[in-house]
Protein backbone atom coordinates (compact mmCIF):
# COMPACT_ATOMS: atom_id res chain seq x y z
CA UNK A 1 0.00 0.00 0.00
CA UNK A 2 1.33 3.44 -0.88
CA UNK A 3 0.33 6.56 0.91
CA UNK A 4 -0.33 9.60 -1.19
CA UNK A 5 0.30 13.11 -0.04
CA UNK A 6 -2.94 14.98 0.64
CA UNK A 7 -3.97 17.41 -2.08
CA UNK A 8 -2.89 20.96 -1.37
CA UNK A 9 -5.44 23.76 -1.37
CA UNK A 10 -5.09 25.74 -4.59
CA UNK A 11 -5.17 29.52 -4.67
CA UNK A 12 -5.44 31.64 -7.80
CA UNK A 13 -3.66 34.94 -7.06
CA UNK A 14 -4.39 37.80 -9.47
CA UNK A 15 -2.48 41.08 -9.34
CA UNK A 16 -0.91 43.33 -11.97
CA UNK A 17 1.98 44.21 -9.63
CA UNK A 18 4.52 41.47 -10.41
CA UNK A 19 6.55 42.05 -7.25
CA UNK A 20 3.49 41.79 -5.02
CA UNK A 21 2.25 38.77 -6.98
CA UNK A 22 5.59 37.02 -6.39
CA UNK A 23 5.70 37.89 -2.66
CA UNK A 24 2.12 36.74 -2.04
CA UNK A 25 2.60 33.57 -4.08
CA UNK A 26 5.79 32.57 -2.27
CA UNK A 27 4.27 33.41 1.11
CA UNK A 28 1.22 31.26 0.43
CA UNK A 29 3.40 28.41 -0.80
CA UNK A 30 5.34 28.57 2.48
CA UNK A 31 1.98 28.29 4.28
CA UNK A 32 1.28 25.07 2.33
CA UNK A 33 -0.90 26.31 -0.52
CA UNK A 34 -0.48 25.39 -4.19
CA UNK A 35 -0.53 28.69 -6.08
CA UNK A 36 -1.13 29.66 -9.67
CA UNK A 37 -1.12 33.26 -10.83
CA UNK A 38 -2.49 35.72 -13.35
CA UNK A 39 -1.40 39.32 -13.94
CA UNK A 40 -4.80 40.57 -15.12
CA UNK A 41 -8.43 39.86 -14.48
CA UNK A 42 -8.82 39.02 -18.17
CA UNK A 43 -6.13 36.32 -17.88
CA UNK A 44 -7.81 34.90 -14.76
CA UNK A 45 -11.24 34.86 -16.45
CA UNK A 46 -9.70 32.91 -19.32
CA UNK A 47 -8.11 30.43 -16.90
CA UNK A 48 -11.45 29.80 -15.17
CA UNK A 49 -13.26 29.51 -18.51
CA UNK A 50 -10.62 27.01 -19.70
CA UNK A 51 -11.29 24.76 -16.72
CA UNK A 52 -8.96 25.86 -13.90
CA UNK A 53 -10.77 25.36 -10.62
CA UNK A 54 -9.01 26.95 -7.68
CA UNK A 55 -10.18 26.31 -4.14
CA UNK A 56 -10.01 30.05 -3.48
CA UNK A 57 -9.39 33.21 -5.53
CA UNK A 58 -7.39 36.16 -4.23
CA UNK A 59 -7.62 39.15 -6.56
CA UNK A 60 -6.60 42.76 -6.81
CA UNK A 61 -9.51 45.12 -7.37
CA UNK A 62 -8.20 47.47 -10.05
CA UNK A 63 -6.13 46.04 -12.92
CA UNK A 64 -5.44 46.75 -16.58
CA UNK A 65 -7.89 45.22 -19.05
CA UNK A 66 -11.63 44.72 -19.04
CA UNK A 67 -12.08 42.40 -16.04
CA UNK A 68 -11.55 44.10 -12.69
CA UNK A 69 -11.53 42.14 -9.43
CA UNK A 70 -15.30 42.41 -8.95
CA UNK A 71 -15.88 41.23 -12.55
CA UNK A 72 -13.63 38.25 -11.88
CA UNK A 73 -15.58 37.49 -8.68
CA UNK A 74 -18.83 37.37 -10.65
CA UNK A 75 -17.25 35.11 -13.27
CA UNK A 76 -15.82 32.74 -10.66
CA UNK A 77 -19.16 32.43 -8.85
CA UNK A 78 -21.00 31.83 -12.13
CA UNK A 79 -18.76 28.83 -12.82
CA UNK A 80 -17.96 27.70 -9.26
CA UNK A 81 -20.50 29.11 -6.79
CA UNK A 82 -18.77 27.64 -3.72
CA UNK A 83 -15.32 29.05 -4.49
CA UNK A 84 -14.49 31.87 -2.07
CA UNK A 85 -13.24 35.13 -3.57
CA UNK A 86 -11.13 37.63 -1.63
CA UNK A 87 -10.62 41.12 -3.06
CA UNK A 88 -7.54 43.16 -2.11
CA UNK A 89 -7.15 46.81 -2.99
CA UNK A 90 -5.20 49.90 -2.16
CA UNK A 91 -8.09 52.00 -3.51
CA UNK A 92 -10.08 51.67 -0.30
CA UNK A 93 -13.04 53.95 -1.06
CA UNK A 94 -13.67 52.64 -4.58
CA UNK A 95 -13.12 49.05 -3.52
CA UNK A 96 -15.53 49.29 -0.58
CA UNK A 97 -18.23 50.63 -2.90
CA UNK A 98 -17.64 47.79 -5.36
CA UNK A 99 -17.60 45.19 -2.58
CA UNK A 100 -20.95 46.48 -1.30
CA UNK A 101 -22.35 46.09 -4.83
CA UNK A 102 -20.81 42.68 -5.46
CA UNK A 103 -22.20 39.90 -3.25
CA UNK A 104 -19.89 37.46 -5.02
CA UNK A 105 -16.94 38.86 -3.03
CA UNK A 106 -16.59 36.90 0.20
CA UNK A 107 -14.00 39.10 1.91
CA UNK A 108 -12.17 42.40 1.40
CA UNK A 109 -8.62 43.16 2.50
CA UNK A 110 -7.12 46.64 2.21
CA UNK A 111 -3.56 46.75 0.89
CA UNK A 112 -0.99 46.40 2.19
CA UNK A 113 -1.92 43.10 3.79
CA UNK A 114 0.37 40.89 5.86
CA UNK A 115 0.88 37.27 4.88
CA UNK A 116 -0.24 36.11 8.32
CA UNK A 117 -3.51 38.09 8.02
CA UNK A 118 -4.02 36.76 4.50
CA UNK A 119 -3.39 33.17 5.56
CA UNK A 120 -5.84 33.57 8.45
CA UNK A 121 -8.59 34.93 6.17
CA UNK A 122 -8.04 32.15 3.63
CA UNK A 123 -8.17 29.48 6.34
CA UNK A 124 -11.42 30.89 7.75
CA UNK A 125 -13.07 31.05 4.32
CA UNK A 126 -11.98 27.54 3.41
CA UNK A 127 -13.18 26.19 6.74
CA UNK A 128 -16.59 27.85 6.21
CA UNK A 129 -16.76 26.45 2.68
CA UNK A 130 -15.97 22.92 3.89
CA UNK A 131 -18.66 23.18 6.57
CA UNK A 132 -21.24 24.29 3.97
CA UNK A 133 -20.29 21.49 1.59
CA UNK A 134 -20.69 18.69 4.16
CA UNK A 135 -24.25 17.32 4.19
CA UNK A 136 -26.09 17.81 7.44
CA UNK A 137 -26.45 14.64 9.54
CA UNK A 138 -30.00 13.48 9.98
CA UNK A 139 -31.09 11.05 12.70
CA UNK A 140 -33.84 9.86 10.37
CA UNK A 141 -31.26 8.60 7.89
CA UNK A 142 -29.12 6.89 10.54
What pLDDT, in 10s, does the model give residues 35-49?
A: 999 999 999 999 999
The whole-number average pLDDT for the span 1-5 is: 55
Task: Classify residue 55: in a domain, yes or no.
Answer: yes
The boundaries of the domain holding residue 69 are: 10-125
Number of structural domains the chain divides into: 1
Task: Classify residue 141: in a domain, yes or no.
Answer: no
Kindly tell me if the per-residue pLDDT of 132 is higher than 60. no
Task: Classify residue 38: in a domain, yes or no.
Answer: yes
Task: Classify residue 27: in a domain, yes or no.
Answer: yes
Interval 57-101: pLDDT, tens: 999 999 999 999 999 999 999 999 999 999 999 888 877 888 888
Task: Classify residue 89: in a domain, yes or no.
Answer: yes
Task: Classify residue 138: in a domain, yes or no.
Answer: no
Asked if 87 and 108 touch (Cβ cutoff 8 Å), the reply is yes
Query: Which pLDDT belongs to residue 1?
Result: 47
Check which CATH number belongs to the domain holding 68 and give it.
Answer: 3.40.50.2300
The whole-number average pLDDT for the span 98-109 is: 90
Query: What b/e sequence results for 9-33 when a residue is b if at least 16 CB atoms lie within 10 Å of its CB, and e otherwise?
Result: bebbbbbbeeebbeebbebbeebeb
Return d(Cα 5, Cα 104) in angstroms, integer: 32
Task: Classify residue 136: in a domain, yes or no.
Answer: no
Task: Classify residue 61: in a domain, yes or no.
Answer: yes
* Model confidence, pTM: 0.85
Amino acid sequence: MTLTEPRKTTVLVVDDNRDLLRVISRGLEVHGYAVFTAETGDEAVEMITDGKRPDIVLTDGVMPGDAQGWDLARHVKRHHPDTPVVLMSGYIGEAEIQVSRTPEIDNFLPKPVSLSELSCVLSELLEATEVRSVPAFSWASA
